[in-house]
C-alpha cells in the first residue's frame, strides 16, 4: 500500500479561523525556509489562539462553562494591559492549562490528541528557552518533527469547528427533543450526516454511537422515552455513515451495556433489536437467556407489556411473544396492536375483528379503526379476503354504523391487491345488497374503480 505525505498547503487552507490560518501559514513558511524553531513557536501560538477562539464561540452559543473561562481570561488580559504584575502569572497559568481544559472540560481534543499537542508544547519550551536543555548547543528540532507538529495541530484542532465532545452531544440531545426532528429514515440519514457526523472528528464518532446506544438501551434523563424511535433511527444513520466504525463500536458497547442491566431495562431492548437485528447476536448467551425469560414471565403493567411487543417482528422473540399475546384478554390485545402496529400482527388483528368485534357494534368499529386500517399497508390479497369474510359473516361487524366508511377506507388502502381481490369486493357488495345493506361509501369506491356495473340502479 502506498502512503502519501499530507500536502501542507492544502492542510493549512482547511483551517477554519483566518487568524489561526495566518499563524499556521507563518509556521509553514518558517519550516520551508529552515527556521525550525520559529516554526514550532508559530504552531504553538496557532494552537493556543485557536483553543481560546473556540471557547469564545462556545460562549456565544450559550455554553456557561466556556463563558466562565473566557470571562476570567479576558479579565486577566485587561489586568495585564493595565500593568498588574500578577496578571502575567495568571496568563501563564492559563496557557499551561489550555490543553487540559480543551481535553477534559470541553473535549475539543481527545486524550491521544492532547498527548501529541503536549509534545508540541514541550518542543516550544525548548525552542524559546535554551536553558531548559542540558546540552551546550541550542535545541534544534528535526524537520520531520516540526512537520509532524504542524500536521497534528491542524488535524487535531485547527480545521474543526468548536462543536466537539460534550457540546456536540448536548446539541444532539437538543435536536432529539425537538418536534421538528425528521420523521423518515432517509431524512434522518441526511440530517445526521450534515448536522453532526460530517462536522466532528473521526475520533468522536464512536462516542456518538455509544451515547445513542446507551440512551436507547438504558434510557436518558434528558431525552424522553417517546423519542426512542428517533434515537433508533440515528443509530441506523450512523451505521450507514461509517459501517466499519459502527460495527466495531456496537460489538464492544452492547455486551457492556446489557450484562449489568436491570430486568426493567429489557423493556427497551425489543425496539433496539427491531431497528438493528444484529444486536441480538451481540448479546452474550446469559443475557439472551435472561431476556427471553423476562419477556415470557415478567409481571408487568399493560403499558409496559406494550413496550415488550415492539419486538413482535423479531425472530428471536416471536415464539415467546406469540404465546404471551394469545393468553391476553382481547381488550389488551387491541391496545397492544393499536400502540405497536406492525406486519406481524396482521393475522391477530383479523382474528380480533371476528371475535372481539363480533361482540358489539362499537367494538367492531374500534377494532377496524385501531387495528385493521393501521395495518392495511401490510395486507396481501389473502388478508383482504379474510377481512371481507368477517364483514360478510359477523352480524355485529356488518351492522356497525362505522363499517361502511371503514370498508371504503380499507378498499383505498389496499390498492396494491386490487387485481387479485376484485371479485371478492364485488361478491361482498352483492351479499350486502341481498341483505338490504347499501354501504354507500364502499359502493362509491367500488364504482369509481369500475368494479360495479349499473351503479345508478343500485343507489338508494
| 212 shares a domain with 101 | no
Does 267 fall in a domain?
no
Model-wide pTM > 0.75: no
Question: Based on the structure, what is the number of domains in the chain?
Answer: 3
pLDDT band at 456 (very low <50, low <70, confident <90, very high): very low
Q: Does residue 163 surpass a pLDDT of 70? A: no
Provide the domain limits for residue 344: 329-460
Condensed to tens digits (0 to 9), the pLDDT of residues 399-444 reads 999 999 999 999 999 999 998 999 899 899 889 888 888 888 988 8
User: What backbone phi and psi angles, to 5 degrees, belong to 141?
Assistant: -70, 155
| 92 shares a domain with 184 | no
| 425 shares a domain with 355 | yes
| 17 shares a domain with 133 | yes
User: What backbone phi and psi angles, to 5 degrees, belong to 446?
Assistant: -65, -40
Does 18 fall in a domain?
yes
Condensed to tens digits (0 to 9), the pLDDT of residues 279-333 reads 999 999 999 888 888 888 877 676 777 778 888 888 888 888 888 888 888 988 8
Q: Does residue 63 surpass a pLDDT of 70? A: yes
Residues whose CB falls within 8 Å of the CB of residue 324, separated by 6 or more in sequence, listed in order: 295, 296, 308
Q: In Å, how far are 281, 287, 289, 393, 411 from 292, measured between CA atoms?
A: 13, 9, 5, 39, 39
| 190 shares a domain with 66 | no
| 184 shares a domain with 126 | no
Q: Does residue 229 surpass a pLDDT of 60? A: yes
The per-residue pLDDT for 242 is 92
Condensed to tens digits (0 to 9), the pLDDT of residues 30-48 reads 999 999 999 999 999 999 9
Q: What mean pLDDT value characterizes the chain?
A: 86
The per-residue pLDDT for 295 is 83
In our burial notation (b when 16+ CB lie closer than 10 A, e otherwise), range 232-251 reads bbbbbbbbbbbeebbeebbe
Amino acid at each position: 500500500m502506498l502512503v502519501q505525505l499530507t500536502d501542507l498547503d492544502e492542510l493549512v487552507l482547511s483551517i477554519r479561523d483566518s487568524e489561526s490560518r495566518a499563524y499556521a501559514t507563518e509556521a509553514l513558511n518558517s519550516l520551508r525556509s529552515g527556521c525550525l524553531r520559529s516554526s514550532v513557536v508559530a504552531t504553538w501560538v496557532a494552537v493556543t489562539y485557536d483553543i481560546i477562539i473556540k471557547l469564545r464561540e462556545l460562549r456565544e452559543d450559550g455554553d456557561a462553562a466556556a463563558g466562565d473561562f473566557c470571562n476570567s481570561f479576558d479579565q486577566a488580559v485587561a489586568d495585564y494591559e493595565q500593568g498588574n504584575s500578577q496578571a502575567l502569572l495568571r496568563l501563564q497559568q492559563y496557557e499551561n492549562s489550555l490543553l487540559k481544559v480543551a481535553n477534559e472540560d470541553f473535549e475539543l481534543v481527545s486524550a491521544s490528541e492532547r498527548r501529541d499537542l503536549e509534545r508540541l508544547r514541550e518542543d516550544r519550551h525548548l525552542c524559546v528557552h535554551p536553558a531548559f536543555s542540558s546540552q551546550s548547543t541550542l535545541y534544534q528540532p528535526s524537520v520531520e518533527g516540526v512537520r509532524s507538529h504542524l500536521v497534528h495541530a491542524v488535524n487535531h484542532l485547527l480545521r474543526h469547528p468548536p462543536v466537539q465532545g460534550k457540546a456536540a452531544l448536548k446539541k444532539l440531545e437538543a435536536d432529539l427533543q425537538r418536534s421538528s426532528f425528521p420523521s423518515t429514515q432517509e431524512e434522518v440519514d441526511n440530517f445526521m450526516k450534515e448536522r453532526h457526523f460530517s462536522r466532528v472528528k473521526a475520533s468522536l464518532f464512536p462516542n456518538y454511537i455509544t451515547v445513542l446506544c446507551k440512551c436507547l438501551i438504558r434510557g436518558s434523563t434528558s431525552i424522553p422515552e417517546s423519542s426512542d424511535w428517533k434515537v433508533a433511527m440515528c443509530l441506523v444513520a450512523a451505521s450507514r455513515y461509517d459501517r466499519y466504525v459502527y460495527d466495531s463500536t456496537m460489538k464492544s458497547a452492547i455486551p457492556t451495556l446489557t450484562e449489568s442491566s436491570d430486568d426493567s431495562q429489557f423493556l427497551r431492548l425489543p425496539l433496539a433489536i427491531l431497528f438493528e437485528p444484529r444486536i441480538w447476536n451481540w448479546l452474550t448467551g446469559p443475557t439472551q437467556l435472561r431476556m427471553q425469560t423476562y419477556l415470557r414471565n415478567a409481571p408487568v403493567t399493560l403499558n409496559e407489556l406494550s413496550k415488550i411487543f415492539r419486538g413482535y417482528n423479531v425472530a428471536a422473540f416471536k415464539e415467546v411473544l406469540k404465546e404471551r399475546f394469545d393468553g391476553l384478554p382481547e381488550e389488551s390485545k387491541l391496545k397492544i396492536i393499536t400502540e405497536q402496529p406492525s406486519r406481524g400482527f396482521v393475522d391477530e388483528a383479523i382474528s380480533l375483528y371476528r371475535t372481539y368485534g363480533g361482540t358489539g357494534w362499537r367494538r367492531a368499529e374500534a377494532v377496524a379503526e385501531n387495528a385493521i386500517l393501521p395495518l392495511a399497508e401490510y395486507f396481501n390479497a389473502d388478508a383482504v379476503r379474510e377481512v371481507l369474510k368477517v364483514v360478510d359473516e359477523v352480524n355485529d361487524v356488518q351492522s356497525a354504523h362505522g363499517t361502511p366508511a371503514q370498508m371504503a377506507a380499507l378498499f383505498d388502502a389496499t390498492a396494491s391487491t386490487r387485481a387479485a381481490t376484485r371479485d371478492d369486493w364485488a361478491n361482498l357488495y352483492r351479499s350486502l345488497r341481498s341483505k338490504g345493506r347499501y354501504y354507500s361509501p364502499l359502493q362509491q369506491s367500488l364504482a369509481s374503480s369500475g368494479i360495479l356495473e349499473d351503479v345508478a340502479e343500485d343507489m338508494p
